[in-house]
Amino acid sequence: MTIKLHWFLPTYGDSRFIVGGGHGTPAGAAHSDRDASIDYLASIVRAAETFGFTGALIPTGAWCEDAFVTAALLARETTSLAFLVAFRPGLVSPTLSAQMAATFARHAPGRILLNVVVGGESHEQRAFGDFLDKDGRYRRCDEFLEVVRGLWNGDTVSLDGEHIQVDSAALALPPNPIPPLYFGGSSAAAGPAPAPTPAPSASSIPAVAAPTPSAMTAPSPTSAPKAATGAPLPGAATSVPTPAQAA
């Protein structure tokens, strides 16, 4: 079995803490000793690429910067590092999301991975205009991914679902390769269940329990990315999320 390691980009600002924020943290409340400027984040992704990491997880939420925009800005700073972009289905159109990922994949082939985050805390979801309960968010995610995967496969998609409605949606340039999806959840609704359609969906992807900050541990100091001089990057994050942890 091949192990792929992903670094973590602290787009809310960096510090010596393993986790400075997280789902439900109010905007502006995440702990930070260092500004997450694009130059600083670029130094992290270049170091991660140099030391052989597969990709870097970019979080989503009110407590951090937008993941898609950050990934697009950093793609030109590296040549092989992939970006595990966390996003919340339902906050934007599935057609637009599919198009954004396809555009990224065209300009940086094989370097976009998508971390499907159905939702964090309900009060944070409401701040984004989403008032569905958790079970409703999973049902919407099923419909969302049905549209997205159909578009990525080059299909013209129409859907009149409970939460998602699109009519004759299509992409001018479907992505090649199709971006992998990473999916995690810790509630009963996230567990495996029969998919309502043949298309891959949230309920048909095996779920993994999302780690809590208290359960996350740091690797040895020697595993942290270092600058060209060999010294550890100032303020670099010290946790290494794996695909199973990217929730």
Give the tens place of pLDDT for each residue, 116-144. Answer: 999 878 888 898 999 999 899 999 999 99
Residue 242 has pLDDT above 80, yes or no: no
Between residues 192 and 55, the one the model is more confident about: 55
Q: How far is CA 239 from CA 7, 16, 28, 225, in A?
A: 7, 11, 22, 11
**pTM for this entry:** 0.74
Strand ranges (E), 42-111: 55-58, 82-87
- Alpha-carbon dihedral 167, 153, 155, 99, rounded to 10 degrees: 40
What is the C-alpha separation between 62 and 59, in angstroms, rounded?
A: 10
Residues 168-193 pLDDT 10s: 999 999 999 999 999 877 777 776 54
Helix H or strand E encompassing 8: strand 6-8
